[in-house]
Chain A
Amino acid sequence: MRKITPVTNVPTLTRRDVFRIGATTFAGYELLPMIAPLQVRAAEKVSPRGSAEFCIFLFLVGGPPQLDTFDLKEGKWTPPDFDIRTINAEVKMPYALFPKLSGKLDQLLLARSVEAWESVHERGQYYVQAGRAFSIARAKEIPSVGSVIAYEFNSRRRETDFLPPFVAMNFTTGGAGLAGPGMLPATCSPLPLTAERGADQSFVVNTADRGRFNQRWDFLQRLDKAMRSGDSPLGRGVSDFNNYYSGAYEMMKRPDIGKILMFSDEDHKRYGSSSVGDACILARNLVAADAGARYMSVAHQGWDLHGKIYDKTQKTNHYTLCRELDDCYSALLDDLATRKNKSGRTLLDKTLIVCMGEFGRTPGDINANKGRDHYRYASTTVFSGGGVKGGRVIGATDDIGGKVVQTGWDRKRSIYTEDIVATMYSALGIDWSKSITNTPSGRKFDYLEPTSATAVINPGEIKQLFV
């Protein structure tokens, strides 16, 4: 890993330098941070571990029920066909729901002492993506976690990188939608992809269309020459937009982009024939390509089951969701674990996978509608890869899965979203104590705030995952 210095000095370059750099790397990717240097400082001495180069965030949108998944609690509510099996002293799994992951627990770490701050989707989903509470006063300038990671990796980009650092898959415009770069340069924006068979991939030019596309591109350059001529030292705005065009074209003109963003029928099946499965294939491809994409956020929609949760006649029910997750997560683990680079490290060693929802669901018995409602006081987050020592459980809840009774880590309190974000930053070699001082509003932006919206927490890395 690169050595990380606590203070990022973004060099101030002359315009000439910027354009030279812009030309040798990819316009639209290296340009902006240098034009608008942000003042980034670290507050305390922390040592990011840098155990991972990639992070896949598997976001169970809607909130999965902890007690029916990775923190199983049996009760009168438990359907008889869960086929519960004891895996070890700490773990029982509903084998019928997770036949594949039940056999891979040695690769997973189950953190059962996780609490959320919010119990409403919009705010909760925002919280998970931004690592802090939604504030209407600051929403415009607050970057999401993925954008902060992108910002950090911008300075580590290599000449061969042609993909944006932050790729987000299968987010919808409902709920909180996809949180963006805020005040950070547009190079830190997520690349939102829809991974789904038949979905439009605008970055992929069909082989048959390639000739005409290239001709059109040249024609556009001729027709719009006055606006797009590269030799004039344009300011931001339109010249930025022209840079985005160049950045997009850099990706689109490569035949290998198709290999990364498309997938075979065989893989589609093996990953569970679902859109979250397709997104996991893309995430795998992005990691394997090692072409600049660092943070892959995959949304798995549908977990908000307030009613008929175990009803198999429903199009989306607990069984279908768990099966989708079981198929895609296990295939992802398989593929990443079997691919090695020269140093002998597997892709899984290099990739931290974090799997969680925005909150848990009501514990104990199901509600009058035979479902479970939003619940913030207990949930499970599953970690794997990227230096995480699997095969373990951290923390415990009471016998209905409603209250954290054992925190299981050195802070002796529940694990919050902030701690998980700090852990992701740390694994990726990012100093989570940094802040940006010259924000548009004038109010300091902390990578992680010492307080949640309602309490002082002083978040930090969950070291226990790695030792």
Chain B
Amino acid sequence: MGLKRTLIVSTGAVVLVAICAADKGSKPANHPDPAPSERTQKSELTSAVAEQLPSSSVAPVRRRNYIDTYIFDAMERNRIPSASLSNDQEFFRRVTLDLTGRIPDSNKIRKFLVDKDPDKRDKLIDNIISPERFEFQEEDAFVDRWTYWFNDLFGNSGGELGTPGRNIYYDYIRFSLRLNVPYNEMVEEMLTASALTNWFSGPANFLTRYHVDDATGNQIHHEDTCDEIAIQTGKIFLGVNLECISCHDGANHLEKINLWLSQRKRAEVWRQAAFFSNLDIYRPPPRRQEFTLLERGRGYDAEAMRVPAKKGYDSTADSVVRMKRQKADVYPAFLLTGERAGKDEDLRKAFARIITTDPQFARATVNWIWAELMGVGIVDPPYGFDMARLDPKNPPPAPWTIQPTHPELLEKLAADFKAHNFDLRYLIGLIVKSSAYQLSTQFEGTWKPEYANYFARRFVRRLSAEELVDAIAQATGIQPEIPISGTNVKVKYVMQARSPEDLGGKNLEIQRFLGSFGQNNRSRNVKSLEGNVVQASLLLNSKVIKERITAKEGSRLHKLLNQEPPLSNEDLVDEMFLSVLSRYPLPEEKKVAVEQIRQYRTQGAEDVMWALVNKLDFIFNY
């Protein structure tokens, strides 16, 4: 008991003022930078959650790596107060969720809390990120979580690639991450892959995914597909959103949105797209979602396959998805620098070389990962870079400001990522080991919305649909069996599914649950962490919940209630809090919960389990 008392500091220090202040963070209309509104929302959200949780230690924040130098220097320079370091319970749950997509095991939390090793946080992180990874491990939550994340980012879907294409693409991404293949090499491989069928080649699915069907819906539209590849590679690898200028020049459209894009022309997207103009993605009959991906004239008889004999990018071609094209001089040229392919250099190889060696590739990648781990990007959203507003030595004209909140840190991270051979595990470890990542959600004193730009505290976020379902299953001990389409494999976690399509059949209720919680279907809807009334009703009264909170055989509750020697009511409540919320109960919570189980133990314990998965700190990562 003495232990718990030292670990749990009371909720006394409530930061009400902070929340009042956060409410007023509305931005002027048509503000040039779209980022602040989301940023403000996240900071408001944080205020609301932080106030209610066990408070953190008050130890001064130690600078642990160069990230902290930049983050805390900026705060000192501008006299911005920072939150304290998160306490161990807060940290353990947060880092486990962020790195593995799962909530931690209660025994591991207990051990971690009593561990006196001052380096225990780093050791925990290393243990998750870099296990003996060259030994084959079936069970690797870190790899599962980031494989899922990249599958989301790349839009891997059976609907678009056929189930075999989806599966082999998933395996390719997972193997690349498990073996920690340098990210630039993985990207180069995907951009240059060819295949007679995407069903037999993992990396060939990256480009295949972006095929655009022609007006008949039976074949592929060549120029539209090239455009789509330019747009997607721009978004994913450069953090630049080319969608607007793929329809029209930036002038007279984007002046208030993105300075650099406002100066770009539609033809420049075509030139970027033209790097893929010798590529032919073709759908050989009879299967609808199987594709060949080959340079024209190579490997098969174009005549026999009824492929129209043309090469290059025709700027007079019609479009099935955009405004009509106009005649223009289209040759392959890199959008950021104008660089052309070398003499006799294969166009796709040239593009892969140019894009992965451009500093923006490293910048965009570190920013994607930063945004995922920190809740907000240094440039936010991560596909919203304004290339004319990155360099503090070369500032944009007023009223524009430098876009990244920490331009020097962004440069340093990008350079470091490159110096470490584009090692994703190194990058992820570096960020979560910083004190900047480990700050508390709580903030002592008056929180102001502008502090958000300094990362002066931790931002909370709602658990993603997948995290939530997996957390409910873990917490209650009743895990689904998810058959992977097209294989004999069955998995227990939603985050091990190859795509949302695997959750049909007897997991239909879970599929609907995931949909209601904003799962990205990797087709036309994007991931959302917004809440709504349906989510609340599902948590209160859906089969997915009701079937799991009972003390039936196989459930966590059943085990806890039938343990020998029997657990005291107090210990039962402690264990339930630890395994569901990853923390000990506050004294008041404990009192209320113990009261509930005192009279009718089983029924009361079910009530507590139901209430715990409905607690707001269960639904959020804080």
Query: Cβ of B460: which chain A residues have Cβ within 8 Å of it?
Result: 237-238
Q: A137-B241, A203-B541, A248-B533 are in contact. Are A126 and B216 (CB under 8 A)?
A: no
Q: How far is the CA of A200 from the CA of B509 in the complex (A)?
A: 8
Binds A, one of B30-38, B165-173, B201-209, B338-346: B30-38
Complex interface: chain A residues within 8 A of B141 (CB): none
Identify B536's interface contact among A36, A136, A194, A245, CB under 8 A: A245
Chain A residues 167 to 185 lying within 8 A of chain B, measured CB to CB, are 173-181
Nearest residue, chain A, Cβ from B241:
A137
B326 CB–A CB distance under 8 Å: no
Does A15 touch B at the CB level, under 8 Å?
yes
User: Given the complex, which residues of A lie within 8 Å of B96, measured CB to CB?
Assistant: none
On chain A, the residues within 8 Å of B615 by CB distance are: 220, 223-224, 227
Enumerate chain B residues within 8 angstroms of A376, measured Cβ to Cβ: 215
The answer to whether the Cβ of B611 comes within 8 Å of any Cβ in the partner chain is: yes
A443 contacts the other chain (CB 8 A): yes
The answer to whether B543 has its CB under 8 Å from any CB of chain A is yes
Least distance between B145 CB and chain A CB atoms (Å): 21
At the interface, yes or no: B243 with Cβ under 8 Å from chain A? yes
B37 surroundings in chain A (CB, below 8 A): 440
Choose, from B186-194, B476-484, B512-520, the stretch at the interface: B512-520
For B52, the chain A residues whose CB sits under 8 A away are 226-227, 238
* A437 vs B589: C-alpha distance when bound (angstroms): 46
Q: Do B540 and A248 touch (CB < 8 A)?
A: yes
Q: Which one of B511, B596, B611 lies within 8 Å of A224 (CB-CB)?
A: B611
Q: Are A236 and B48 in contact (CB under 8 A)?
A: yes
A451 within 8 Å of B (CB atoms)? yes
Majority SS of interface residues in chain A? loop
> Does residue B46 face the partner (Cβ distance < 8 Å to A)?
yes
- Of B215, B509, B524, which contacts A122 at CB under 8 A? B524
Q: Known interface pairs A137-B243, A245-B536. Does A186 touch B26 (Cβ–Cβ under 8 Å)?
A: no
A442-456 interface bits toward B, Cβ cutoff 8 Å, 1 = contact, 0 = none: 110000000101110
Given the complex, which residues of A lie within 8 Å of B231, measured CB to CB? 136
Residues of B within 8 A of A122 (CB): 159, 523-524
**Residue in contact with B19 in the complex, picked from A179, A205, A234, A453, CB distance below 8 Å:** A234
Within the assembled complex, what's the spacing in Å between the Cα atoms of A234 and B541? 26
Distance of A15 Cα from B257 Cα, bound (Å): 31
Would you mind naming 27 contact pairs between A and B with Cβ atoms under 8 Å apart? A15-B23, A135-B243, A138-B243, A176-B523, A186-B533, A189-B533, A192-B512, A192-B516, A200-B543, A202-B538, A205-B541, A220-B611, A223-B596, A224-B615, A226-B11, A227-B52, A234-B19, A234-B48, A235-B22, A247-B533, A251-B537, A374-B216, A437-B29, A442-B31, A442-B256, A442-B257, A443-B244
* Complex contact B616–A228 (CB within 8 A): yes
A27 to B78, CA, bound (A): 39
Q: How far is the CB of A182 from chain B (nearest CB, A)?
A: 10
Docked complex: B522-548 residues within 8 A CB-CB of A: 523-526, 528, 530-538, 540-544
Once the chains bind, are A136 and B30 in contact (CB under 8 Å)?
Answer: no
Question: Which one of A174, A175, A213 has the greatest number of beta carbons of chain B within 10 Å?
Answer: A174
Which residues on B sit within 8 Å (CB–CB) of A407? none
Output the nearest chain A residue to B214 by Cβ-Cβ distance: A119
Residues of chain B with a CB closer than 8 A to A252's CB: 537, 540-541
Query: Among residues 212 to 251 in chain A, which have CB atoms less than 8 Å away from a CB atom of chain B?
Result: 213, 215-217, 219-220, 222-228, 232-242, 244-245, 247-249, 251
B20 at the interface (CB under 8 A from A): yes
A192-B516, A241-B619, A373-B216 given; A173·B48 CB < 8 A: no
The distance in angstroms between the C-alpha atoms of A306 and B619, with both chains bound, is 43
The answer to whether B616 touches A242, judged by C-beta atoms less than 8 angstroms apart, is: yes
Q: For the complex formed, measure the closest distance between the CB of B186 and the CB atoms of chain A, giving whole angstroms.
A: 22
- Collect the chain B residues with CB atoms within 8 Å of residue A200's CB: 509, 512, 542-544
In the complex, A236 Cα to B509 Cα: how many Å? 29
Closest to B529 in A: A237
Q: Does B521 belong to the interface (CB within 8 Å)?
A: yes
Residue B501 CB within 8 A of the other chain: yes
| CB-CB contacts below 8 Å: A417-443 with B | 437-438, 440-443
Is there an interface contact between B536 and A248, defined as CB atoms closer than 8 Å? yes
CB-based contact B533/A202 at 8 Å:
no
- Bound Cα distance from A241 to B530, whole angstroms: 9
Please indicate the chain A residues that have their CB under 8 angstroms from the CB of B31 in the complex.
442
Provide the bound-state CA to CA distance between A239 and B19, in Å. Answer: 11
Question: Is there a chain B Cβ closer than 8 Å to A28's Cβ?
Answer: yes
Residues in B with CB closer than 8 Å to A394 are none
Check B20 against A233 for contact (C-beta < 8 Å): yes
Which chain A residues lie closer than 8 Å to B534 at the CB level?
189, 191-192, 202, 248
Q: Is the CB of B524 within 8 A of A213?
A: no
Nearest residue in A to B603 (C-beta to C-beta)? Answer: A212
Q: Nearest-CB distance from B389 to chain A (Å)? A: 14
Question: Most B CB atoms within 10 A — which of A181, A189, A455?
Answer: A189
Q: Report whether A139 and B29 are in contact in the complex, using a CB–CB cutoff of 8 Å.
A: no
Find the B residue at minimum CB distance from A135: B243
B302 within 8 A of A: no
Of B111-119, B317-325, B359-367, the stretch lying at the interface with chain A is: B317-325
Please judge, given known A-B contacts A173-B511, A192-B515, A213-B541, whether A454 and B524 are in contact too, CB under 8 Å.
no
State whether the Cβ of B217 lies closer than 8 Å to any Cβ in chain A. Answer: yes
Residues A133 and B532 in contact in the complex (CB < 8 Å), given A173-B500, A173-B521, A223-B611: no
- Would B159 and A180 count as touching, CB distance under 8 A? no
A140: chain B residues at CB < 8 Å are: 526
Name the 6 nearest CB pairs between A and B, nearest first.
A237-B45, A137-B243, A235-B44, A438-B29, A248-B536, A374-B217
Residues on A with C-beta less than 8 A from B26 are 36
Does A48 lie at the interface of the complex (its beta carbon under 8 Å from any beta carbon of B)? no
CA distance A174 to B20 in the complex (A): 42
What CA separation (Å) do A242 and B531 show in the bound complex?
Answer: 10
Q: Which residues of B contact A203 (CB under 8 A)?
A: 537, 541
**Given A186-B532, A189-B532, does the pair A245, B540 have CB atoms closer than 8 Å?**
yes
